[in-house]
Structure 1
Amino acid sequence: MSRINSSETGNLLPEACGCCVACHISAVCVWSQVLADAVSRLVVDKFSELTDNFTSPHARRKVLAGVVMTTGTDVKEAQVICVSTGTKCINGEYMSDRGLALNDCHAEIIARRSLIRYLYTQLEHFLSSNKEEQQKSIFTRCDKRGYRLRDNVLFHLYISTSPCGDARIFSPHEAGMEDQGDRHPNRKARGQLRTKIESGEGTIPVRTSNTIQTWDGVLQGERLLTMSCSDKIARWNVVGIQGSLMSYFTEPIYFSSIILGSLYHADHLSRAMYQRIADIEDLPQQFSLNRPLLSGISNAEARQPGKAPNFSVNWAVGDLALEVINATTGKDDMGRASRLCKHALYSRWVRLHSKLSSTLRIKVSKPSSYHDAKQAAVEYHNAKQTLIKVFHKSGLGAWVKKPIEQDQFSLNS
């Protein structure tokens, strides 16, 4: 378990004088920088540990991401929950209609899938007959139905560079520019939804009208389009990081901070993460627009030289070793499905659903397919549709969905 030694951090929140706004702001700024630097160091140190001090062939990467958990604002007992690398997406010919292939192997997307897997494990601990396991869980019962995180449990997302898409396309490539502000904040390109390029890097703007991706079309050579990381993180800031299936069990869960190891630009990142959708309203109860703390680190990470590798790695608390996935196929090099694939996570969900049918936040009989289970999470689905409408209404483009056949599998198929 990676933790921060208390002697490294000292007193996190410097004492403000109590009568001065400037003093309070200064204290908060100092705390946020301490947090950002601590989270960054923890993730990098854990990755070093998992790759034999970066000597493993799988230490090669362009982007490193990870999630760190804290209790309140105290980083002394912070814990790395997961780490991941990757910059590429699946080639369309390798799509799976059984949920067995990972579509998107960008590091921050894999980190969030690893976090969801961790949440399933924690909920299983809470439901254990073993009292000790129950007490270790980060979950507790809600007053009404379902479960929620224990008080003061916070998650922090670290990404070694700005996420692809709106946050990155305008990022400065030289240090020292973050205080200059966005000189052209209203350019038409600002805030646009963008998609990743299949089997490559970089992003392109979406069309203004809906793009329907079909299974046949992609298999016949059309490029499989995947929304950029900036757009996906903006979505998490509305619907939560837990996903539609986990929303059967828990309230929405949001990142408390997003920390970049390099290419941090306050204006661009805040616009990409939440400012471009600030007009969102009429969200279902319990959903809201999350505005996490955004920060760079004191000593920005050096640019990773060389060509981006074609693999992605992932690890989460409890795993013995890294899992290595071929980003082109969405599976490992032996053709085996990832522990993070839709099929694997859906299997975990089905087991929990059968145990918890009487305490669910969403009352529904056992769905016949993964697609049906997702659609039955009505409030989550409505929050997502509200977000998509806001993007469209703001002239920022139409959200691109994957071919529906990808989700129409059952565990028996």
Structure 2
Amino acid sequence: MFLGLVFLYEGPGCFRCLGISTLCGDFADAVFHLVREKYSELIGCSALMHACHKGLAGIVMTRGLDVRQAEVVALASGTKCINGEYLSDQGLTVNDCHGEITARRALLRFLYSHLELHLRLRDNILFHMYISTSPCGDARINSPYELTTDFSVHRGRPVVKKFHSHLRSKIESGEGTLPVRCRSAVQTWDGVMQGERLVTMSCTDKIARWNVLGLQGALLSHFVEPVYLYSVTVGSVTHTGHLSRTLNQRMERLGSLPACYHRNRPLLSSLSSSECWQQLKASCLSINWTAGDEQVEVINASTGKRRDCRAPSRLCKPSAPGSNADPLTYGEAKQAAASYQTAKQQWVRALRDAGLGTWVQKPVEQEHFMLTV
């Protein structure tokens, strides 16, 4: 068995048009049905699990664009983040339990498991993300029709709202986002412990970053080339062009990236008919599943730990293997990924130069624990 990535697949079944890249509606619907059916299979008749459906996200793996061999490899749900007082300096909590983010963490477990089996990468493997609703942040709050008709002041260019395309952060232990106004790029541990609001970047911003740095993160980049999404399907979105802007516009000021990294523009699509869910109050619970797991895991998003026993989640940081024989802290192992860190710095600088805000990181103390190899 072999796994791998194709970064720019241009064979039969690829639907790229000038301007916005769109995905064939039938293929997008097939991705949705695969994720929805896997979710139904996993939760069965559990009322508790059904209450966790809000913010459903899944990642489907295909060989080329053949849905007959498609496989759901990661699935998650959730709409909330950890309360700052529960941050762990040992990496024992999951900080962001929004569906898109935990689905990506579940995918990392899938990739790590195949590395441990000494499987090599091969071409023609594509990853597709399904999200039940528009990602929180700019993709959800700003209308595509918010341009004004005043062309006189700005030399013929339309005027946009103050925070159009601006970085946004999630509300701690709640829902919704706010424009990032932090001047410092790093939060302090003592500040958060004393009640300062914990800043977690929005899902729109994180997906946009994945389009530059890849899904694999710093640690996995020691072993594989950047892993990019080939397509993104959103269950309830009214304007694919607006979603494309929010995910792609922030890459305009990027300079030349390190080898293997590029400006990824995934194919985008909504469903042929809007997904309908029973409207329920958002749960503080989040579920996750990776191909090979016997059952889903349930996390309390407010504490970042398992709901049943308050133990660390299988998605938490110490579950990731180290990349060196010498003992390293989690933070040191990430910093050792030189090309990834260079691309990351270029991304942060491009955002700042475009006046879109400062990318805010969690306190560095939460990365000082030793990796278990």
| 8 Å CA contact retained: 2:16, 2:22 | no
- Look up the match of 2:240: 266
- Look up the match of 2:333: 373
| 8 Å CA contact retained: 1:240, 1:254 | yes
- Look up the match of 1:240: 214
| Change in CA separation of 1:66 and 1:198 when aligned onto 2, cut-off 3 Å | same
TM-aligned CA deviation for residue 59 of structure 1? 1.9
Deviation digits for residues 152-182 of structure 1 (CA, Å, limit 9, x no counterpart):
10000110000001111125xxxxxxxx866
* Aligned match for 1:280, one of 218, 238, 254: 254
Matches of 2:337 and 2:96, distance apart in 1? 23
Structure 2 residues not aligned, in runs of 5+:
1-11, 149-157
- Look up the match of 2:112: 120
- Look up the match of 1:401: 361
- Look up the match of 1:132: none
- Look up the match of 1:300: 274
- Look up the match of 2:152: none
Matches of 1:312 and 1:50, distance apart in 2? 14
| 8 Å CA contact retained: 1:13, 1:30 | no
Structure 1 residues not aligned, in runs of 5+:
1-11, 15-22, 128-136, 141-148, 172-179, 355-364
- Look up the match of 2:28: 36
Matches of 2:27 and 2:147, distance apart in 1? 29
Matches of 1:84 and 1:339, distance apart in 2? 13
- Look up the match of 2:56: 64
Deviation digits for residues 31-73 of structure 1 (CA, Å, limit 9, x no counterpart):
62121100011000100001115x4411213210000001011
Matches of 1:123 and 1:257, distance apart in 2? 24
* Aligned match for 1:157, one of 126, 129, 148: 129
Q: Counterpart amino acid of 1:57?
A: L
- Look up the match of 2:43: 51
Q: How many residues align?
A: 348
| Change in CA separation of 1:321 and 1:37 when aligned onto 2, cut-off 3 Å | same
Q: Counterpart amino acid of 1:395?
A: G
| 8 Å CA contact retained: 1:194, 1:203 | yes
Matches of 1:30 and 1:387, distance apart in 2? 24
| Change in CA separation of 1:245 and 1:31 when aligned onto 2, cut-off 3 Å | closer
* Aligned match for 1:104, one of 96, 99, 107: 96
Q: Counterpart amino acid of 2:199?
A: L
| 8 Å CA contact retained: 1:284, 1:383 | yes
- Look up the match of 1:177: none
SS at match of 1:35: helix
SS at match of 2:138: coil
| 8 Å CA contact retained: 2:167, 2:359 | yes
| 8 Å CA contact retained: 1:181, 1:267 | no
How much is the aligned-residue C-alpha RMSD, in angstroms? Answer: 2.3
Q: Counterpart amino acid of 2:130?
A: Y
* Aligned match for 1:338, one of 313, 331, 349: 313
Moved more, 103-112 or 59-68: 59-68
Q: Counterpart amino acid of 1:336?
A: A
- Asked which structure has the greater CA Rg, the reply is 1
Q: Counterpart amino acid of 1:235?
A: R
Q: Which runs of 4+ in 1 moved over 4 A?
A: 23-26, 28-31, 180-185
| Change in CA separation of 1:30 and 1:200 when aligned onto 2, cut-off 3 Å | closer
- Look up the match of 1:82: 74
Moved more, 294-303 or 284-293: 294-303
Matches of 1:70 and 1:110, distance apart in 2? 20
Q: With structure 1 as the length reference, what TM-score do the two structures score?
A: 0.80
SS at match of 1:168: helix
Q: With structure 2 as the length reference, what TM-score do the two structures score?
A: 0.88
SS at match of 1:238: helix
TM-aligned CA deviation for residue 278 of structure 1? 2.2
| Change in CA separation of 1:208 and 1:197 when aligned onto 2, cut-off 3 Å | closer
Deviation digits for residues 286-323 of structure 1 (CA, Å, limit 9, x no counterpart):
11110000110111112541210010000111000000
| Change in CA separation of 1:391 and 1:367 when aligned onto 2, cut-off 3 Å | farther
| Change in CA separation of 1:93 and 1:382 when aligned onto 2, cut-off 3 Å | same
